[in-house]
Chain A
């Protein structure tokens, strides 16, 4: 069937391979320099180059058959042909064809890739040579959205993607579009659309992420206050909005007459024991209701919506497929469940899940653009940008979001993605800002208005805070992992909704009596970050003895000496710290949407504030110690406890997540305190050192390891001395399942497919001479065989399957089945003596799915990503069977 002269046979090509053939032949033609001078003259660089790249593909006898391909055939004609064709065949068939076509591209491209890698010739010539060859590439006329065929270049659930193959496919598609742009105005428009579709996509993602985040913020703040009371005149207001005109503070509810607490709604007075009990009960009941709703919605509609999502996003971005993890239902349920679980007063934040929500949005919007929706590697560029937008809207920290995506989440982050992330984060933050969910003129969560300088001596407490943050972070990770492991392997995991309810009940009962735990965590963090103003009497943390200093004409009031309220507040804060630490350990990992940023920020802020007050009192009591002299104006308050809270928060978050750069940027964006970068950096660094010394992994990596996601961490080094031969499959006394290039029948291959479960098979010359020809994927093989049996005449079980272009001499029996198109002729190979360090590096940096191992040029075995992951685990003395993988 390779002999079809393309033009005449388009309509009658019922078995559906003619386009591929045509394409391949065209390729051969232009590469072989027998024709196509026009194209080569367009690209003067092309002429001398391509022979090296194409020797493996070029078979001389094909060239003359392809003369009648018109490279300038109009696009309309082409797509018409394709449409007629696809209507006559079933979806399955055309699906198959597309699959093959794509695969073929990969095949061609990987040839050029490998040559580029070997630097046998320049990049540009290869590029243009292949670009020229795309002239007659008719089936690419179908890449428009309207003939959407699902399953192209797709992978099965829980498989890893082949980055090289996907990126090659995209480059091929791009070249085709560039080439076609000269044909007509419409193609020019289409080319332009293709060029800007990445930006358009992230623009849409940014807008949608901003809107969703705004909704979640507003909804969550309203529902959180629903636990305390209601605004009868306008039920959609939370307390702050309800008490808009009157003075109010976090602690005092007295002055607001429009806001009705629950006892008031039931006709009781606002104060008093009875009212307290009623409020208490209502608080707990509402919390239980919200938590139950959240847990059961998650269980019913989208189980993937539970948890923080960042470990999974990390895994997905590293090239793993989890179907439905970024779907519509996950988005909806995660947003709603997040609002509910935050308002239930559980110790969790909504920032981590925001990343997941934004990634869902990214995934959904990427389906609008086939360039991204159908190509898993390209889709991950959008997802990286979306993750940046997620953090951007969660904290109002756009640059922090970009850096978070770069440092923590993304695996493959080229500059192009960096700029897109930047843009996406910008748009998202802008949209969120215009919705003003935080209610002030700053789009950030915890704006600090002070701008006092810090003195050099303070670096010591800052570093101390960093160390403490690292210790707390490690403790938290250890405890949380222990609990999660317990949940995973014990009966507890069978009662996800019950667990949520119990934790909520305990949280509600414990947290209500303490005013610091009763209020929202956001409010508490803000309180801890802010500075006491002279007139602040409602905040117990600001119960200082006020002094009045008259300095010339102006008089200023300074707060220095602690009053009894502060001692009481510190006691409560210490209690809060331990409560929240314990509760977070049990909360994170429950089957509700739950993030970790806010609880760890809170823990750190409490610790920092206490340390800050201690340092402040020290400086007040001993103003003449040598390191204060000169810095300290008499009686002036020079230590800002709020700054310590900030630094402590950063340190703890750093200890938990092991972020550095993005953490500092998020923190100063979060607070607007640009002047405090150095303290934050010192604390983040100290916390990272201490954390890494105490425990290797951050919380996300630890959860990835716990769940056994196939994540090949590029941060860690592989320091063992094993060789490829030790890792490869099959082991010593097993046989390698191979397909021979021209002697196996369809039945043989089907038996092989039935008996083995490998995802791909190497193709060799013959059983005796196991010289490598190529690699064929199980999925392709299945589809190809099924397709051939249905649509190619005369194919039966005895047909010989050929992976070569020349048929064997004998002509007895049924016609052979040619499957060269699905063969990857350029698989990456290593020798058996290659150190595993190199192999692991190749897997990480090239994003391979498998590599073939040869010895003296003969095929010896295969190393898949799964083998590598298991080997890494084994070397680290962990159970290799926990890797989640298909």
Chain B
């Protein structure tokens, strides 16, 4: 039980850290970006202008540009727009990109933390807990299946809390067993997915 609490604690810490980091970053970023990209939330049109085409034997001005072809022309002294500018319109939802990237960072960080926990802390904690844990396993099984309908309400509450943890533990153990089995198939016996 203890190691689970410890794990929850570390997870909580990590999540807080992550929240802090992403929030701070988001804040900074939006503050900075805002003036440049006034409509961050709406799809931004983009003009890709390629094709500077100097044409030696044409009578038009030898120098022309494609940049800013879509912007309003202010002065007359600017270079002329080339006749062969290609415009491409692209639109993306920048909010979506931001949300997705942050979610991805989150998922990866949580997975990495959990992986590190399973790799480093779990064996240590399990070793200590294992002795009394294994004895209790069967009893726990019995109580989870039999007790809920019969016990009194106060008892039930205590029980249920314990049960939730137990059930989580059982689920986790079951899952770990499955993964171990998969690993055995793939990495040790190499019967699959080669």
Instruction: Point out residues on A near B: beta carbons under 8 Å.
Output: 214-215, 218-219, 222-223, 233-237, 241, 244-245, 247-249, 258, 293, 296-297, 299-304, 306-307, 312, 322-324, 329, 332-333, 336, 339-340, 435-436, 439-441, 484-485, 487-489, 493-494, 496, 533-537, 548, 550, 555, 557, 589, 591, 703, 706-708, 884
Contacts and interface: CB of A to CB of B under 8 A. Distances in A.
B53 A555 contact: no
Interface of B: 25, 29-30, 32-33, 36-37, 44, 46, 48-53, 55-58, 66-67, 82, 84, 86, 88-94, 96-98, 100-104, 107-108, 111-112, 115, 118-119, 175, 178-179, 182-183, 185-187, 190-194
B193 A440 contact: no
Contacts of B52: 535, 537
B193 to A, nearest CB: 5
- The interface centre, meaning the residue of A484, A496, A534 with most chain B CB atoms within 10 A of its CB, is A534
A234 B49 CA distance: 24
A258 B37 CA distance: 12
Contacts of A235: 25, 29, 101
B68 to A, nearest CB: 10
A419 to B, nearest CB: 31
A306 B190 CA distance: 13
A297 B193 contact: no
A591 B33 CA distance: 40
Given A249-B50, A439-B92, A550-B57, A493 B97 contact: no
5 cross-chain pairs, A with B, having the tightest CB-CB distances, nearest first? A535-B51, A236-B101, A219-B104, A303-B182, A488-B194
Contacts of A533: 50-51, 86
Contact of A487 (B58, B191, B194): B194
Contact of B94 (A241, A302, A555, A707): A241
Given A303-B179, A534-B84, A707 B44 contact: no
Contacts of B46: 244-245
A301 B49 CA distance: 46
Contacts of B107: 332, 336
A297 B67 CA distance: 46
A609 to B, nearest CB: 20
A479 B31 CA distance: 54
A537 B52 CA distance: 9
Contact of A488 (B66, B93, B190): B190
Contact of B29 (A233, A303, A484, A535): A233
A489 B88 CA distance: 53
Given A237-B97, A535-B51, 7 more contacts: A233-B33, A302-B182, A324-B178, A336-B108, A487-B194, A488-B194, A534-B84
A591 B102 CA distance: 26
A322 B193 CA distance: 12
11 contacts: A297-B111, A297-B112, A299-B187, A300-B179, A302-B179, A324-B178, A440-B88, A535-B52, A535-B53, A535-B66, A707-B194
Given A548-B57, A707-B192, A234 B98 contact: yes
B91 to A, nearest CB: 7
A682 B107 CA distance: 45
A546 to B, nearest CB: 9
Nearest to A87: B149
B112 A339 contact: no
A312 B186 CA distance: 13
A5 B119 CA distance: 60
A247 B49 CA distance: 6
A731 to B, nearest CB: 26
B112 A293 contact: yes
A10 to B, nearest CB: 22
A233 B35 CA distance: 11
A244 B30 CA distance: 16
B18 to A, nearest CB: 14
A234 B56 CA distance: 43
A533 B48 CA distance: 14
A496 B193 CA distance: 12
Given A218-B101, A708-B191, A557 B53 contact: yes
Contact of A301 (B103, B179, B185): B179
B66 to A, nearest CB: 8
Contact of A557 (B55, B67, B91, B190): B55
Contacts of A550: 57
A214 B191 contact: no
Chain A CB within 10 Å — which of B55, B103, B187 has the most? B187
Nearest to B40: A234
A141 B177 CA distance: 35
Contacts of A218: 96-97, 100-101, 104
A236 B25 CA distance: 10
A63 B96 CA distance: 67
A493 B55 CA distance: 61
Contacts of B191: 707-708, 884
Contact of A304 (B67, B193, B194): B193
A352 B52 CA distance: 40
A743 to B, nearest CB: 38
Nearest to A244: B46
A301 B97 contact: no
A436 B93 contact: yes
Nearest to B96: A435
Contact of B100 (A215, A303, A440, A535): A215
B104 A303 contact: no
Contacts of A234: 29-30, 32-33, 94, 98
Contact of A589 (B36, B103, B194): B194
Interface-central residue, A214, A247, A487, A489, by most chain B CB under 10 Å: A247
Contacts of A322: 192
Given A303-B187, A535-B53, A555-B55, A215 B33 contact: no
A291 B48 CA distance: 33
A218 B92 CA distance: 11
B103 A215 contact: yes
A496 B91 contact: no
Contacts of B88: 440
Contact of B98 (A236, A302, A489): A236
A791 to B, nearest CB: 17
A496 B187 contact: yes
B188 to A, nearest CB: 8
B51 A306 contact: no
Contacts of B89: 441
A735 B39 CA distance: 80
A304 B182 contact: yes
A195 to B, nearest CB: 35
B81 to A, nearest CB: 13
Contacts of B98: 234, 236
A374 B97 CA distance: 38
Nearest to B49: A247
B63 to A, nearest CB: 14
Contacts of A708: 191
A494 B51 contact: no
Nearest to B88: A440
B38 to A, nearest CB: 12
A493 B108 contact: no
A332 B183 CA distance: 17
Given A293-B112, A301-B115, A439-B90, A241 B97 contact: yes
Contacts of A297: 111-112, 115
Contacts of A249: 50
A783 B94 CA distance: 57
Contacts of A548: 55-58
Given A241-B94, A300-B115, A304-B182, A236 B102 contact: yes
B101 A536 contact: no
Contacts of B108: 293, 336, 340
Nearest to B104: A219
Nearest to B187: A496
B152 to A, nearest CB: 20
Nearest to A214: B100
Nearest to B83: A555
A524 B25 CA distance: 33
B100 A219 contact: yes
